[in-house]
């Protein structure tokens, strides 16, 4: 473990967000009607639409990203960035066709320049349509300043794709919240869609044969899920490394340490596995279970974190709480234990190098839990760089670790280039 001291804070005062002027460009359509209906049998990663959006200069990106960094180290942006709205084909956890909506951020550089691809997943925003990460309006409700975050990566030379999770913008299914298969397949298909975008568009820059998956909190779960599924689902994708910003890879641990996410996971699993197998009312107290179906449709993360208790003793039924914290989950609730185990990500033995960034003051996934994941990941064959930032809470891991993530990816790319020049 490397403990990373806090980076010096800027003396600049945070500027008023300019996102108000950009709000019209943040909202993706609720659905693209002609893309739904009968399953057309698209191959995973098929690019369905690519719609240009207004681009950004480095100065505009720096201004837009200032509230994200909040005085933490903010490296100046280098490149202008073009933006596109994409839709592409993927597969649900059960193998059925799905359409994914995403934002693509392309760094503008000279002819023949190659840029690595970064697939990035958001933290929890909610399950209902209104909660899709692409719909964030941070000047009204902050979920993560994700658009500014992605623009910042692109301006530093990474072709960055930021997908909404499977189920968003889809009238036929809710988000597959913490589904290893749905998330991991979607990430890999996002990488496929990037390469197909450049096959279709005559642009001077090109994607390199190097892909990174990354994400914050839930997005870290998805980034590691992509590594788990790579060999069988998309072996042609040149996945180079995985980054987790406070990744919540073990759903059972999330239930224990950040209980207020559990109702939404239980709702999702009841839809995936069937209510006869996973019935939320078996695990949640009556006051929370009786209105769960309606609550997931009306509350995004900024509201449900205030609605549900963080203390699991006030959320779960006593038998569930005792089983969860007493090591009896497998014995007393085997169906749920099996679902949680099936959707734990990162530990398949994929062997990919990883960067794990953790805040020393994180209460959603504690440092102890993260250290256990890092040890297990190393034991499974991955070279892991583990950075802990003293005083940093869960939500600030992305801005605190931004510069280190750039450095780590650049080092990985340097190693690939050196290996290529050395030859077989």
Using the 3D structure, point to which of 306, 341, 376 is the last residue of a domain: 341
Looking at the DSSP bridge assignments, the partners of residue 206 are 114
Give how far Cα 237 sits from Cα of 2, 91, 194, Å.
Answer: 30, 16, 11
pLDDT in tens, 115-124: 999 999 999 9
pLDDT of residue 417: 80
Higher pLDDT, 272 or 172: 272
Torsions phi, psi of 102, nearest 5?
A: -150, 165
Instruction: Using pLDDT thresholds of 50, 70 and 90, give the confidence band for residue 171.
Output: confident
What is the C-alpha separation between 87 and 237, in angstroms, rounded? Answer: 19
- Residue 213 CA to its chain's centroid (Å): 9
Residues 234 and 262 in one domain: no
Tokens matching residue 299? 């509350």
Instruction: Using pLDDT thresholds of 50, 70 and 90, give the confidence band for residue 319.
Output: very high
CB atoms under 10 Å from CB of 133, counted, come to: 28
pLDDT of residue 11: 33
pLDDT of residue 35: 47
Residues 115 and 244 in one domain: yes
Instruction: Using pLDDT thresholds of 50, 70 and 90, give the confidence band for residue 37.
Output: very low
Write down the mean pLDDT value for the chain.
Answer: 90
Which residue's structure tokens are 């993530």? 405
In terms of DSSP bridges, do strands 159-163 and 114-121 run parallel, antiparallel, or are they unpaired? parallel
Tokens matching residue 339? 């679902």
Angle of helix 58-69 versus helix 397-422 axis, rounded to 10: 130
Contacts of 393 (CB under 8 A, 6+ apart): 359, 361, 362, 363
Using the 3D structure, point to which of 341, 372, 403 is the last residue of a domain: 341
pLDDT of residue 4: 53
pLDDT of residue 34: 42
What is the C-alpha separation between 267 and 174, in angstroms, rounded? Answer: 10
Mean pLDDT of 140-150: 94
In terms of DSSP bridges, do strands 2-3 and 47-56 run parallel, antiparallel, or are they unpaired? unpaired
| Three-class DSSP labels, 302-371 | HHHHHHCCCCHHHHECHHHHHHHHCCCHHHHCHHHHHHHHHCCCCCCCCCCCEEEEEECCCCCCCHHHHH
Residues 317 and 365 in one domain: no
Higher pLDDT, 418 or 393: 393
Residues 140 and 234 in one domain: yes
CB-based contact 209:238 (threshold 8 Å): yes
Which residue's structure tokens are 């409700």? 141
Instruction: Using pLDDT thresholds of 50, 70 and 90, give the confidence band for residue 36.
Output: very low
Instruction: Using pLDDT thresholds of 50, 70 and 90, give the confidence band for residue 404.
Output: very high
Residues 234 and 132 in one domain: yes
Residue 423 has pLDDT above 50, yes or no: no
Residues 142 and 238 in one domain: yes
Domain membership of residue 322 as a residue range: 253-341
Contacts of 263 (CB under 8 A, 6+ apart): 280, 284, 288, 289, 292, 295, 296, 304, 308, 315
Using the 3D structure, point to which of 291, 320, 341 is the last residue of a domain: 341
CB-based contact 106:200 (threshold 8 Å): no
Q: Quick one: what percent of the chain has pLDDT higher than 70?
A: 89
Mean pLDDT of 33-44: 60
In terms of DSSP bridges, do strands 97-107 and 2-3 run parallel, antiparallel, or are they unpaired? unpaired
Q: Is 89 helix (H, G, I), strand (E, B) or coil?
A: strand
**Alpha helix stretches (DSSP H) within 201-317:** 218-233, 251-257, 262-273, 286-289, 292-298, 301-307, 312-315
CB-based contact 213:183 (threshold 8 Å): no
Higher pLDDT, 141 or 393: 393
* Number of compact structural domains in the chain: 2
What is the C-alpha separation between 195 and 209, in angstroms, rounded? Answer: 10
pLDDT of residue 370: 98
Assign residue 40 the CATH number of its domain. 3.40.50.1820
Q: Quick one: what percent of the chain has pLDDT higher than 90?
A: 84
Buried b (16+ CB within 10 A) or exposed e, 198-211: beeeeeebbbbebb
pLDDT of residue 3: 55
DSSP state of 14: P
Residues 279 and 367 in one domain: no
pLDDT of residue 419: 77
Residue 398 has pLDDT above 50, yes or no: yes
Residues 101 and 223 in one domain: yes
Higher pLDDT, 318 or 419: 318
Instruction: Using pLDDT thresholds of 50, 70 and 90, give the confidence band for residue 69.
Output: very high
Residues 172 and 246 in one domain: yes
pLDDT of residue 254: 97
Residue 133 has pLDDT above 90, yes or no: yes
Tokens matching residue 311? 């203390």
340: burial class by Cβ within 10 Å (0-12, 13-18, 19+)? buried
Residues 66 and 190 in one domain: yes
Instruction: Using pLDDT thresholds of 50, 70 and 90, give the confidence band for residue 33.
Output: very low
What is the C-alpha separation between 223 and 214, in angstroms, rounded? Answer: 5
Instruction: Using pLDDT thresholds of 50, 70 and 90, give the confidence band for residue 270.
Output: very high
pLDDT in tens, 278-317: 999 999 999 999 999 999 999 999 999 999 999 999 999 9
pLDDT in tens, 75-114: 999 999 999 999 999 999 999 999 999 999 999 998 889 9
Residues 223 and 139 in one domain: yes
pLDDT of residue 40: 63
CB-based contact 251:220 (threshold 8 Å): no
CB-based contact 238:148 (threshold 8 Å): no
Higher pLDDT, 228 or 37: 228
Higher pLDDT, 149 or 7: 149
Mean pLDDT of 7-28: 34
pLDDT in tens, 363-376: 999 999 999 999 99
pLDDT of residue 311: 96
346: burial class by Cβ within 10 Å (0-12, 13-18, 19+)? buried
Assign residue 312 the CATH number of its domain. 1.10.260
Residues 225 and 302 in one domain: no
73: burial class by Cβ within 10 Å (0-12, 13-18, 19+)? middle
Tell me how long the chain is: 424
């Amino acid at each position: 473990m490397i403990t990373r001291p806090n980076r010096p804070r800027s003396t600049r005062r945070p500027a008023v967000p300019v996102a108000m002027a950009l709000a019209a460009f943040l909202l993706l359509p609720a659905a693209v009607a002609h893309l739904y209906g009968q399953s057309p049998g698209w191959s995973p990663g098929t690019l369905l639409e690519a719609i240009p959006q207004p681009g950004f200069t480095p100065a505009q990106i720096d201004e837009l990203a200032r509230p994200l960094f909040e005085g933490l180290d903010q490296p100046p942006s280098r490149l202008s960035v073009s933006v596109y709205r994409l839709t592409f084909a993927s597969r649900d956890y059960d193998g059925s066709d799905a359409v994914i909506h995403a934002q693509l951020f392309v760094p503008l550089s000279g002819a023949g320049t190659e840029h690595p691809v970064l697939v990035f997943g958001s933290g929890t925003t909610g399950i209902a349509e209104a909660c899709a990460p692409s719909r964030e309006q941070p000047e009204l409700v902050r979920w993560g300043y994700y658009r500014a975050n992605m623009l910042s990566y692109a301006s530093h030379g990474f072709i960055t794709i930021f997908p909404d999770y499977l189920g968003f913008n889809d009238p036929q299914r809710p988000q597959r919240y913490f589904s290893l298969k749905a998330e991991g397949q979607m990430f890999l298909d996002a990488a496929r869609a990037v390469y197909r975008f450049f096959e279709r568009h005559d642009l001077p820059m090109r994607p390199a044969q190097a892909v990174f998956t990354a994400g914050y909190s839930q997005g870290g779960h998805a980034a590691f899920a992509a590594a788990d599924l790579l060999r069988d689902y998309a072996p042609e994708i040149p996945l180079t490394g995985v980054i987790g910003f406070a990744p919540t890879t073990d759903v059972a641990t999330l239930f224990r340490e950040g209980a207020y996410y559990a109702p939404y996971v239980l709702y999702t699993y009841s839809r995936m596995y069937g209510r006869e197998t996973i019935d939320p009312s078996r695990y949640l107290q009556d006051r929370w279970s009786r209105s769960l179906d309606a609550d997931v449709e009306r509350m995004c993360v900024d509201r449900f974190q205030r609605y549900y208790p963080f203390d699991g003793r006030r959320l779960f039924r006593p038998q569930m709480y005792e089983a969860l914290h007493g090591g009896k989950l497998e014995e007393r609730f085997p169906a749920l234990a099996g679902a949680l185990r099936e959707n734990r990500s990162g530990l398949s033995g994929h062997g990919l190098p990883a960067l794990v960034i953790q805040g020393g003051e994180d209460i959603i996934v504690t440092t102890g839990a993260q250290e256990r994941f890092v040890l297990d990941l190393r034991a499974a064959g991955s070279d892991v760089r583990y950075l802990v930032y003293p005083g940093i809470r869960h939500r600030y891991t992305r801005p605190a670790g931004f510069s280190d993530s750039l450095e780590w990816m650049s080092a990985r790319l340097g190693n690939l280039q050196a290996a290529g020049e050395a030859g077989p």
